[in-house]
């Protein structure tokens, strides 16, 4: 039986679906991350927590690397450790130095905050990022990219051996979970709770409340819709982020235009009642999972013309692409979709077709082909 460890951070539970698929085909699976244990225990998946500071802190980072190394040294047989997210993908190769039984595979799930805006500080940080990637590349056995743009960057800056890398778009979505029947009583209760304007298009954005996700652009575009007589329904879903780049007070100042729901456990139901999913992000992501989830539920899409987003949204096929940091462009696309039901229905149909390319079973097959190179 092949041993496989998935290593991640605060959202490592996103690997539960793919872990269950690999258990079905006979792999010995463990997940390591920083979340609480309850979700993993519920799914009967062995799980271990470790400490990880999201921000740069040399002492904490060194402690994390040593902690990971201690865990890896316990593996007595050949083991694939597959890391996701920025810090785990950088720390794993360092923790595995000299440990020949550990096969290091990483998925680059986007380029992160320092590639979001071009300023002096970020240019310095990008230089450091490149130096670190070159340093650790010698201990990386295989690199998976989620979009072509990120792969092209690594090739251009000679950060990888191209023979040990490939693109697998997204981490996959279990589409079967999105075709199950939804409790209609819950849907009616939700509509009653939200007091939505009848017969008006429902726009929704689900994200952490950080500036780089384009939250303020969404709020401003919604306000402009109202000011110009288009009283669509606007929903905003997600938790306030610890870095407080956007405050509750900022969001609440738009309360007459946008219903802010905070963190919710009924996101699937919220997608069911919605018509258009909006993601005006300018954060450098891999392939945003929320776009796949919205597609699977048959929503039309509006997203920025960014790496990752443009891998899902094909302009005028399943949605509209917009310019980054452009609330005016977003407003115009909202008006277009909100007042053109026939085109919106076409986008919704095409979204459900396009998302089939990201089915979890396809990703499992591609990952397995990569893993088998090492057994």
Q: What pLDDT is attached to residue 243?
A: 65
What's the maximum distance between 2 C-alpha atoms anywhere in the chain? Answer: 67
Q: For the residues 139-167, what does the mean pLDDT come to?
A: 96
Q: For the residues 198-220, what does the mean pLDDT come to?
A: 95
Q: For the residues 117-129, what does the mean pLDDT come to?
A: 91
Torsion 336-352-345-272 (CA) sign: negative
Q: What pLDDT is attached to residue 197?
A: 85
Alpha-carbon gap, residue 31 to 95, rounded angstroms: 16
Q: For the residues 224-241, what does the mean pLDDT come to?
A: 95
Q: For the residues 293-318, what does the mean pLDDT come to?
A: 97
- Domains annotated for the chain, with CATH where assigned, are 3-172+359-374 (3.40.50.2000), 175-358 (3.40.50.2000)
Cα-based distances in Å from 76 to 3, 136, 347: 10, 23, 51
Q: What pLDDT is attached to residue 179?
A: 79
Is the model's pLDDT at 363 over the cut of 80?
A: yes
Quote the percentage of the chain above a pLDDT of 90.
87
Average model confidence (pLDDT) across the chain: 95
Q: For the residues 140-148, what does the mean pLDDT come to?
A: 97
* pTM summary value: 0.92
Q: What pLDDT is attached to residue 341?
A: 95
Q: What pLDDT is attached to residue 89?
A: 97
Q: Is 238 helix (H, G, I), strand (E, B) or coil?
A: coil
Is the model's pLDDT at 201 over the cut of 80?
A: yes
Write out pLDDT tens, residues 8-43.
998 999 999 999 999 999 999 999 999 999 999 999
Is the model's pLDDT at 90 over the cut of 80?
A: yes
Strand pairing report for 102-108 and 28-33: unpaired
Cα-based distances in Å from 214 to 177, 209, 221, 228: 28, 9, 11, 21
Between residues 177 and 225, which one has the greater pLDDT? 225
Q: What pLDDT is attached to residue 244?
A: 57
Is the model's pLDDT at 181 over the cut of 80?
A: no
């Amino acid at each position: 039986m092949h041993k496989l460890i998935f290593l991640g951070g605060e959202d490592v539970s996103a690997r539960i679906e793919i872990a269950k698929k690999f258990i079905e085909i006979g792999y010995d699976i463990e997940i390591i991350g920083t979340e609480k244990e309850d979700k993993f225990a519920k799914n009967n998946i062995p799980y271990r927590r470790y400490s990880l500071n999201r921000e740069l802190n040399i002492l904490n980072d060194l402690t994390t690397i040593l902690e990971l190394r201690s865990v890896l040294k316990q593996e007595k047989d050949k083991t694939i450790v597959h890391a996701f997210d920025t810090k785990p993908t950088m720390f794993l190769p360092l923790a595995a130095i000299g440990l020949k039984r550990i096969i290091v595979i990483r998925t680059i799930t986007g380029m992160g905050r320092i590639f979001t805006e071009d300023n002096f500080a970020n240019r310095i940080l990008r230089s450091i990022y490149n130096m670190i990637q070159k340093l650790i590349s010698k201990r990386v056995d295989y690199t998976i990219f989620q979009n072509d743009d990120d792969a092209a960057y690594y090739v251009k800056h000679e950060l990888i051996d191209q023979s040990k890398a490939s693109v697998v778009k997204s981490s996959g979505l279990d589409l079967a979970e999105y075709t199950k029947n939804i409790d209609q009583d819950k849907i009616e209760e939700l509509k009653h709770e939200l007091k939505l304007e009848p017969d008006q298009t429902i726009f929704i954005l689900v994200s952490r409340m950080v500036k780089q996700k384009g939250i303020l652009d969404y709020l401003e575009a919604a306000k402009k819709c109202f000011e110009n007589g288009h009283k669509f329904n606007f929903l905003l879903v997600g938790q306030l982020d610890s870095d407080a780049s956007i405050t509750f007070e900022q969001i609440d100042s738009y309360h007459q235009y946008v219903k802010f729901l905070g963190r919710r456990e009924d996101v699937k139901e919220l997608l069911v009642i919605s018509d258009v999913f909006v993601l005006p992000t300018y954060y450098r992501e891999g392939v945003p999972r929320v776009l796949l989830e919205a597609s699977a539920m048959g929503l039309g899409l509006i997203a920025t013309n960014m790496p990752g987003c443009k891998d899902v949204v094909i302009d005028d096929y399943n949605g509209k692409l917009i310019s980054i940091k452009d609330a005016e462009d977003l407003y115009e696309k909202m008006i277009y979709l909100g007042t053109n039901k026939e085109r919106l229905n076409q986008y919704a149909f095409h979204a459900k077709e396009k998302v089939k390319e990201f089915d979890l079973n396809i990703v499992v097959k591609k990952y397995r082909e990569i893993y088998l190179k090492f057994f």
